[in-house]
Structure 1
Amino acid sequence: MERHLLLTMGGDGGESWNLRFVAGFFRRKAALRLTLFYVVPDAYASGPGEVILSDVQMRHGLEQLAGARRWAVEHGFVPEYVETHAVPRQFGVVRDIVEEAHRGLYDAVVSGRRYLGWLEQTYTTSVSRGLLGEEIAFPLWVCHQPEPDLSDVLLCVDGSGENLRMADHVGFMLAAPGAEDHTVTLLHCREPGNGGGQHVGVGADDAPLSGEEAIAAAREAVLANGVDESRVRVLVLRARDRADKAETILRVAEQDRFAVVAVGRRTALPDTLMRRMFGRSVSERLHDRVNRFSLWVSK
């Protein structure tokens, strides 16, 4: 079964980090279908449902996509499996990406750091953070400058339904032909004094899971996709709170040189006094501090 990825493209063509990450992470490209998606930023509406876009603006967008497609084919992707799609901005870049992702039923949306930097300069906002805040039904990959020799995945386990969906996604992607050399480490951060029998999260059926149950459920979700059990290992470490968990994840990712850190993101609290008291989620902290690896997030 092919894996279909939606890559958000900016003004850098084949230099985009998301495209370079996908090309380096997947050694064989035959099972990958790419849609290179460009939101042309300077469209405007002349009336309800009408969007005006000049020929020059659209031509520039198509040129960027053509350059990215050419780079992808030169680096091993099947020409028939690399599609391009340029659209005028209608609801805002983030919402336009979300609409396309839901409409196309992609296996993941893949954003690159250079694209995000360009958008931040243009719209004074972060698209990746905007996507994290959206109600999305697809995994999100935030890619940074890739190191071609990195290949392994650090899957953070907390027992939540979102985490189990990410475990299933990791297993599905790593069961692709040519991904046999990629390993998965299940990292569970346990609070001091919290033994394996105490509840740490909520599973897909809303039943509380203990630490050992959460690890077992995530492992089963990965293996169910066809990943060999020899490629999966478990690491349990102590962490006091969200901030300490994020620091622990970053430390492990850096010292063991993982290509990907994968997390499940629970629905965030609104920006209220409660949110400010309890702080940001682990995925938000990782997003702010991530370096040298890509962040995979599932809701």
Structure 2
Amino acid sequence: MEKHLLVAVGDEYQTSQSLRFVHQFFTARPDLKLTLFYVVPRRPDWRLDPINLEANPEAIVHIEQDKAAHGLPAMEKAKEWLFSMGFAKEQVRVKFSQGKLGTVKEIIKESEEGLYDAAVLGRRGLSWFEEMVTDSVSHRILWEQLTFPIWICRNPQRERKNVLVCVDGSEECMRVADHVGFMLRNEPGHDITLLHVCSDDRCIDAEMIFGRAMSEIKANDIADDRISIKVLTSPNPAKSILHEAEARRYAAVAIGRTSHRPSTLKHIFASTSLKILRGIEGAALWLCK
């Protein structure tokens, strides 16, 4: 089954961690469709508000100049690199955004309207997400409107493989389990480990934690011998997850985000997810709501 990824690309395509991760992670490339997405950034020296572009022709001139000077060359080079890495021309398309909503919101808008299987962010992914969790408007978008999986790639290392799926029995974790199963169904080189971190020795029923998650994964035709489970006990789940990801050299860590709106910014991502986001290195973080 075809998988369609939205891959955010910036000016410096050659350092694009999103492109590198996709190339390194997937081997069944004929099943993959990529849309390279370039958002023309708002330049401080424009001193223009491009929100109402129809009423601001000067903004359009600046945007088109920036697109021609930076966006088009970057996208052409990114396509050429992908073609040299074995992707067929019909698998790759490019799309530009005038950036009138800002980078974060343009990515969200395109991801939702395009019904992509995931949005992939690279080098600047962390700064974009920190913008989302520190800005009140983006904060509301993150918790109420983000309806697609998003991957943040942090210096992906070529030799890593497999996916660590963090589960706690929640609906969000069921969705992330299904997402991982779907993305790995034709990737036999990657196995899946379901991980639950208990805060003390009194872990809740493992069957409840792992049973349905395993069913979601198996529904994607993932063989039993590709799935394992692991339970850790720690007062600091984020630290344990990061340690496990590094020790076992996972290519990706997948985690569900709560659908409940936090009472303060301090509790965004239920703290654990945000700590993993900030601490992960050499791998990608897959987030599902």
Which residue identity lines up with residue 52 of structure 2 in the other structure? P
Q: Partner of 2:246 in structure 1?
A: 254
For structure 1, the 5+ residue unaligned runs are 198-210
Residue 14 of structure 1: how far off its partner (Å): 3.6
Equivalent residue for 1:185?
193
**SS, match of residue 91 in structure 1:** coil
Corresponding residue for 2:282? 292
Unaligned 5+ residue runs, structure 2?
A: none
State the match for 2:213 in structure 1.
218
Post-superposition Cα deviations, 1:83-103, rounded to whole Å, max 9, x if no partner, equal: 001111111111111110011
Structure 2 Cα separation of the partners of residues 53 and 268 of structure 1: 39
Partner of 1:106: 116
Q: Structure 1, residues 124-159: CA drift from partner, whole Å, max 9, x if none?
A: 964698689352111010001111111110000111
Q: Distance in 1 between matches of 2:16 and 2:147?
A: 24
Q: Please say if residues 170 and 222 of structure 1, whose CA atoms lie closer than 8 Å, have aligned partners that are also in contact.
A: yes
Task: Kindly indicate which of the two structures has a greater share of residues assigned to helix.
Answer: 2
CA contact (8 A) 2:176 2:256 kept: yes
1:228 aligns with 2:223: yes
TM-score (structure 2 length as normaliser): 0.87
Q: Write the distance in 2 (CA, Å) between the matches of 1:292 and 1:213.
A: 31
Match of 1:140 in 2: 150
Match of 2:194, SS state, is strand
Segments of 4+ moved more than 2 angstroms: 42-56, 123-135, 193-197, 267-272, 275-281
How many residues are matched? Answer: 274
Letter in 2 for 1:3: K
Q: State the match for 2:182 in structure 1.
A: 172
Which residue pairs with 2:202 in the alignment? Answer: 194
Rounded Cα–Cα distance in structure 1 between residues aligned with 2:40 and 2:269: 35
User: In 2, Cα distance between the equivalents of 1:45 and 1:71?
Assistant: 35
Once the two structures are superposed, the pairs formed by residues 61-100 of structure 1 within 5 Å of their partners are 61-100=71-110
Q: Given the superposition, is the C-alpha separation of residues 128 and 182 from structure 1 closer, same or farther in structure 2, using an over 3 Å criterion?
A: farther
Q: Is 1:39 matched with 2:39? A: yes
TM-score for the superposition, normalised by structure 1: 0.84
* Deviation per residue, 1:22-66 (Å, 9 max, x gap): 000002311000000000013755673526333421212111111
Distance 1:151 1:126 in 2: 30
Determine which structure has the larger strand proportion and give its number.
Answer: 1
